[in-house]
Amino acid sequence: MQKRTLGAGKLEVSALGLGCMGLSFSYAPFPEKPEVLALVRAAADRGVTFFDTAEVYGPFNNEELVGEALEPYRGKVAIATKFGFNLNPDGSPGWQGLNSTPERIKQVAEASLKRLRIEAIDLFYQHRVDPAVPIEDVAGAVKDLIAEGKVKHFGMSEAGAQTIRRAHAVQPVTALQSEYSLWYRKPEEEIIPTLEELGIGFVPFSPLGKGFLTGKMDEATSFEKTDFRSVIPRFSAEARMANRKLVDLLVVIATHKGATPAQIALAWLLAQKPWMVPIPGTTKIHRLEENLGAVDVELTAEDLQQIEDAAAKITIEGARYPEAVEKMTGL
């Protein structure tokens, strides 16, 4: 597996990571625990050294699963987790608003360390920007945790350019995690140039458009009510029908390259910048292997230009999140 380096802090990880959210959050029904452990360990055995989780996924059980699965690989992999929410007191899925107070950050760090069965969190993200807490205080709290040896690197998620700059001035940001793919390209406007200027790595989540770019779904696909995509405007039947043009483009390129649409979508991301590390998620080992195969797909400058020219003629329909969720982003 190829390696890439995130940020000036030089966090070296595999070129593709594993997004673990869907193993126990947002995309129910979920696999059984033995399947989850097998999948995460299969990724590690295949050279993946970067795993993404969060306390809110579940809540808690995602970190517990990842911690148990990766305990035999301690010291050989990097685990990223996140803080930033007030969770429901009864432990039910969801949250009760944002909370990035220094006290809460340190509380989350202590609890996450135990669930993950590690001595230091490799990359600790602010999950969403909390407008009630100055970002300087957030960065300062993580700086304290780094000084204490409980955290190695500071990350942010879905933050705007100016917020990133302010945080970075207090504690260097190693990586920003935000949605980025061929069907969500807003980060190209301000975020990616800012990261390049500051020497911050980029971790695209939903690099396969929450599964849409795999080509495995169409307007007839149905989602369980427990599947988050059932309430996302971009996944309405009408939007899926309109957005199929993008998948058709990927199919054409994939056929030419002897690859799959998913592999082309991931290879496109890998070709954008050497400091980007996508984190596709899956619950199936054969999909894991398919995704990892993207590292070996080489897109030429001509291929990339062909994709760019064709994609420029396609208008993606539907919002990427319900309005209430979108409001929590700092973009």
Residue 56: name the closest of 154, 127, 151, 134 by CA. 127
Determine contact, residues 175/199, Cβ cutoff 8 Å: no
Determine contact, residues 67/38, Cβ cutoff 8 Å: no
d(CA 234, CA 226): 17
Two tokens, residue 73: 């690989």
Residue 40 CB: number of other CB atoms within 10 A?
Answer: 25
Residue at token pair 């969060």: 54
Evaluate the CA torsion angle 125, 131, 132, 133 in order and state its sign: positive
Residue 184: name the closest of 317, 298, 274 by CA. 317
184 has catalytic annotation: no
Marked catalytic residue, from 27, 57, 125, 180: 57
So which residues are the catalytic ones? 57
